[in-house]
């Protein structure tokens, strides 16, 4: 083997090493992590929606319960089930914002329902209601954790596709930054409850 051929082999090995070392597989790996994190967010939102019909039925048992509050929860749940966000839509900030808005409305309606329920001693003493209330509180915590994890994976992905050498691979893959969660308008103000 001639000296020139050895240089070509060395150059080829260095080029392969450069490609492997520069993270050719990092963007697809991070993209899959974002999708998995998003699935966990959806899973927790679905858990919340699955609890609502039982909660509504339990609250309906209280004869004098405020119907507007109950109707608001039912309507917010219906709107939330109509807005879906597939992993392919995570690049679209408007789609993420729309999804977050309907989920925020549902969360706000549930908060009002829980606050209003304090006026009904029989309901507060109902073991089924207390169990559902506890499950709902736990689910809200799970949603917060899933969102935090999603935000972290999106941050890692976005950093990779916006910085060198990841930006090169992002162009090759056609990868774009993912949309992040933002606080919904009015989230800083607790829901108003009138007794």
Largest CA distance in the chain: 94
Q: What angle do CA 70, 57, 120 make, to 5 degrees?
A: 60
**How many whole angstroms separate alpha carbon 173 and alpha carbon 156?**
17
How is the chain split into domains, by residue range? 3-173
Alpha-carbon Rg for the chain, nearest whole angstrom, is: 24
Q: What angle do CA 167, 172, 174 make, to 5 degrees?
A: 85
CATH architecture of 3-173: Up-down Bundle (1.20)
Q: What is the token pair recorded at 6? A: 């050895």
Taking only the tens of pLDDT, the chain with its 195 residues reads 677 787 888 888 887 777 666 677 889 999 999 999 999 999 999 999 999 999 999 888 876 788 899 999 999 999 999 999 999 999 999 999 999 999 999 999 999 999 988 888 888 888 989 999 999 999 999 999 999 999 999 999 999 999 988 888 889 889 999 998 776 555 555 444 443
pTM for this predicted structure:
0.81
């Amino acid at each position: 083997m001639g000296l020139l051929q050895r240089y070509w082999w060395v150059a080829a090995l260095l080029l392969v090493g450069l490609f492997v070392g520069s993270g050719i597989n990092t963007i697809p790996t991070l993209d899959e992590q974002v999708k998995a994190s998003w699935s966990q967010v959806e899973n927790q939102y679905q858990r919340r929606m699955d609890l609502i019909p039982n909660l509504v039925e339990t609250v309906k048992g209280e004869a004098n319960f405020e119907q507007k509050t109950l109707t608001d929860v039912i309507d917010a749940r219906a709107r939330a089930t109509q807005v879906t966000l597939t992993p392919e839509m995570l690049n679209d900030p408007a789609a993420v914002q729309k999804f977050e808005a309907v989920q925020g409305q549902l969360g706000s309606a549930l908060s009002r329902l829980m606050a209003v329920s304090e006026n009904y001693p029989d309901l507060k003493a109902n073991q089924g209601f207390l169990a559902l209330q506890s499950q709902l509180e736990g689910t809200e915590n799970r949603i917060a954790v899933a969102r935090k994890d999603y935000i972290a994976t999106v941050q890692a992905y976005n950093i990779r596709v916006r910085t060198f050498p990841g930006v090169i691979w992002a162009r090759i893959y056609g990868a774009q930054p993912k949309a992040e969660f933002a606080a919904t308008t009015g989230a800083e103000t607790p829901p108003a409850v009138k007794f």
